[in-house]
Chains A and B, each alone.
Chain A
Amino acid sequence: MTVAPAPPKPPDPDVLPVGGPLATALVGLGDWTLFSLRAVSGMFHHSFSGREWLRVAVDIGVNSLSVVIVTGLFIGMVLAVQTYNQFHTVGLETSLGAVIHLSVVRELGPVLSSVMLAGRVGGAMAAELATMRVSEQIDALACLGVDPVKHLVAPRFLACLLMIPMLTVFADVAGLVGCTIICLHVYGIDTHHYWEHSRNYVGVWDVFVGVAKAFVLGGVMALIACHRGFHSKAGAAGVGRAATQAFVFAFVSIIVLDFVLSMFANSIHDIVWPDAKSKVM
């Protein structure tokens, strides 16, 4: 059993005017890193109950499933509607499926799932933990000999790590179904060529990259949301601010990390398969 770390110490007020927001941001980043390491270590020390993990996992997974599927379905449909005319003009409409499937599997599935869950789950997690902070339940955990970070954050982090990639797979499938419905049944694209192009361009690597991205983005989203909740200020305004910050910080991090991970995945791809054709279409 260990104890909770103290909330981050704000920069020295005498130094603050010099570094200003940069000093505050660096202190926050350092504190988040230590907080994250503590949460990750909590996963390996049985610091939380299985029941708590299951409760969070069900809330994240089962209760988000319908939203993720509806979003994925309509994103696939909208992409097909928006791009058909351009492809039709140059006679490449049979490649439409390949382009949209690749976009959904590699980018839109993981990013949209993570962003949506940052709003639905991240905000709720931040508000729940912020309320626990304000009502001194987090202090009470520490007084009872439990590390609050390991006890509260580790199960949420683990649930997001596992559930968001799974939800991404559902979003991918829904996106493909939506795109296929519009392409084949509304615009009447030739079925054989539509699937032929899709098979040629979308491979196991693309699915793997998408799911791996969701794994990272989901984990980071959970840690940001929990960190904001843990360091909430007092009162209803403090809880509201923590929930808002959780979404905004998670959203920006997801977008930035998505770019970094995409670059990284392409570099890995080029190293492992140097002779393969570029996936950029």
Chain B
Amino acid sequence: MADPLIQLRGVSVRFGRQQVLRNLDLAVEPQQTVCVIGESGCGKTVTLKLLVGLLKPTAGDVLFEGRRVSDQSETELTKMRLRMGFLFQQAALFDSLTVFENVAFGLRAKGGFTEADIRTRVRDRLTEVGLTAAAEPKMPAELSGGMRKRVGLARALALDPDVMLYDEPTTGLDPIMTDVINELILRTRGRRPVTSIVVTHELRTVHKVADRVVMLEPLARLTPDEPQVLYDGPPAGLATATDPRVREFVEGDAARRIGAEE
């Protein structure tokens, strides 16, 4: 087994009085595609933001290539972030910039590219996500939800990251566009040796792209001694998981919960 590229060791996160993650352990190997699933509020997005250093754990360690993220200087942290692409839930495109400028942003910020290089790279990335040059001058407000996600993906891929982090990449999209995004995640992995972590509610995405699935449970539904990870294994094992809470999530069955609340 390869050394983990990304590792969470006993990580807890608390916002004020609300604890979101408790003693979470997770190790992701290079070139693995891990889907993190679970109900809203279980800490999926918080986990992604910990990995990229946007949030700091209240306790425990987040490691990238064996080094603690919290020990890194600002320069090192910036270098680490430039090796990670992040596709945000609503794409987070910069409103005041065109599609071209959005995709070129990271290249210009990093420096060392000529304008011709930038133009070529932006065109390549937009083509990679199925967009033409006609999209380049458009403003984000003119784009549909699916196009915004694709531009966000092109922007995240512009710097050829080693790690791709997807935060609910298919939420709010129609079934066709959901499949387009799933396909793009697969192609991205096929084109380059990238490690991917996909946070999602969408089981079609899980079955299509994941090598491994990790299911988290909101702490409010757990007793103090229960682990937060309900399932950690291949996607095929979800349907036959021994924990009834995993099967309920997979089947979308809330009958037991509604019965309990009544």
B residues 59-115 touching A (CB-CB < 8 Å): 74-75, 77-79, 81-82, 84-86, 88-90, 92-96, 105-106, 109-110
The answer to whether B90 touches A135, judged by C-beta atoms less than 8 angstroms apart, is yes
Q: Flag whether B123 is at the interface (Cβ < 8 A).
A: no
Cβ-defined contact, B94 with A145, below 8 A: no
Minimum CB–CB distance for A64 against chain B, Å: 20
A10 CA / B74 CA spacing, docked (Å): 23
- Picked from A3, A10, A52, A140, the residue with its CB within 8 Å of the CB of B88 is A140
Q: Is B53 an interface residue (CB 8 A)?
A: yes
Is there an interface contact between A145 and B82, defined as CB atoms closer than 8 Å?
Answer: yes
- Contact B74–A145 (Cβ < 8 Å): no
B54: contacting residue among A135, A139, A144, CB under 8 A: A139
- Does A275 make an interface contact (CB < 8 A)? no
Give A145 to B79 CA distance when docked, in angstroms.
7
B17 within 8 A of A: yes
CA distance A215 to B53 in the complex (A): 36
Given that A136-B88, A139-B54, A139-B88 are known contacts, is A1 also in contact with B16, CB under 8 Å in the complex? no
Quick check: A145 and B17 within 8 Å, CB to CB? no
Contacts of B56 in A (CB 8 A): 6
**Shortest Cβ distance from A230 into chain B, in angstroms?**
13
Q: Does any Cβ of A come within 8 Å of B49's Cβ?
A: yes
B53 touches A3 (CB 8 A): yes
Q: Are B95 and A3 in contact (CB under 8 A)?
A: no
> Closest B-chain residue to A12, C-beta based?
B16
A residues near B90, Cβ cutoff 8 Å: 135-136
Known: A137-B92, A146-B109. Is A3-B77 also a contact (CB below 8 A)? yes
Q: Which residues 122-150 of A have a CB within 8 angstroms of B? A: 131-132, 135-137, 139-146
Number of interface residues of B (CB under 8 A): 32
B17 partner, pick from A13, A131, A135, A136, beta carbons under 8 A:
A13
By beta carbon, the residue of chain A nearest B111 is A1
CB distance A144 to B109 under 8 Å?
yes
Query: Considering the complex, which residues of chain A in the window 9-50 have a beta carbon less than 8 Å from any beta carbon of chain B?
Result: 10, 13
Report the minimum CB–CB distance from B41 to chain A (whole Å): 13
Tell whether, in the assembled complex, residue B109 and residue A136 are in contact, meaning their CB atoms are under 8 Å apart. no
Closest residue of B by beta carbon distance from A134: B90
B94 contacts A1, C-beta separation under 8 Å:
no
What residue of chain A has the Cβ atom nearest to residue B14's Cβ? A13
Q: Which residue of A lies closest to B52 (CB)?
A: A143
- Which residues from chain A contact B89 at a C-beta distance below 8 Å? 136
Q: Known A136-B89, A137-B92; judge A143-B55 contact (CB<8 A).
A: no
**A143 touching B16 by the CB < 8 A rule?**
no
Is the Cβ of B94 less than 8 Å from the Cβ of A3? Answer: no
Residues of the A chain whose Cβ atoms lie less than 8 Å from the Cβ of B155: 144
Question: Among B17, B54, B110, B159, which residue has its beta carbon within 8 angstroms of that of A142?
Answer: B54
Q: Is the CB of A63 closer than 8 A to any CB of chain B?
A: no
Q: In whole Å, how far is A55's beta carbon from the nearest beta carbon of chain B?
A: 8
Complex CA distance for A144 and B94, rounded to whole angstroms = 12
Q: Assess whether B55 is in contact with A3, with CB atoms less than 8 Å apart.
A: no
Q: Once bound together, how far apart are the Cα atoms of A13 and B17, in whole Å?
A: 7
Contact A143 B84 (CB under 8 A): yes
Q: Which residues of A contact B17 (CB under 8 A)?
A: 13
Could you say which of B16, B77, B79, B93 contacts A10, with CB atoms under 8 Å apart?
B16
Q: Is A2 an interface residue (CB 8 A)?
A: yes
B78 to chain A: closest CB distance in Å?
Answer: 5
- Least Cβ distance of A134 to chain B in Å? 9
Given contact pairs A144-B109, A145-B106, A145-B109, A137 touches B78 in the complex (Cβ within 8 A): no
**B105 partner residues in chain A, CB cutoff 8 A:** 144, 146
20-61 of chain B: CB within 8 A of chain A: 49, 52-56
Interface string of A161-174 (1 = CB under 8 A from B): 00000000000000
Q: How far is the CA of A1 from the CA of B107 in the complex (A)?
A: 13
Q: Hey, what's the 0/1 contact readout for A105-133 against B, CB within 8 Å counting as 1?
A: 00000000000000000000000000110
Chain A residues whose CB sits within 8 angstroms of the CB of B77 once the complex forms: 3
User: Given A10-B16, A143-B52, A144-B109, A1 and B88 touching (CB < 8 A)?
Assistant: no
A151 to B37, CA, bound (A): 34
Q: Which residues of B contact A140 (CB under 8 A)?
A: 86, 88, 92-94
Identify 28 residue pairs between A and B in the complex whose beta-carbon atoms are under 8 Å apart, listed by A's number.
A1-B109, A1-B110, A3-B53, A6-B55, A13-B16, A55-B96, A132-B95, A135-B92, A135-B95, A136-B89, A137-B94, A137-B95, A139-B86, A139-B88, A139-B92, A140-B86, A140-B88, A141-B94, A142-B53, A142-B54, A143-B84, A143-B86, A144-B82, A144-B106, A144-B159, A145-B79, A145-B110, A146-B105
Residues of B within 8 A of A (CB): 16-17, 49, 52-56, 74-75, 77-79, 81-82, 84-86, 88-90, 92-96, 105-106, 109-110, 155, 159
- Given known contacts A6-B56, A139-B86, what 13 new A-B pairs fall within 8 Å (CB)? A1-B75, A1-B110, A3-B53, A3-B78, A52-B96, A131-B95, A136-B89, A137-B95, A141-B94, A143-B81, A144-B106, A145-B79, A145-B109
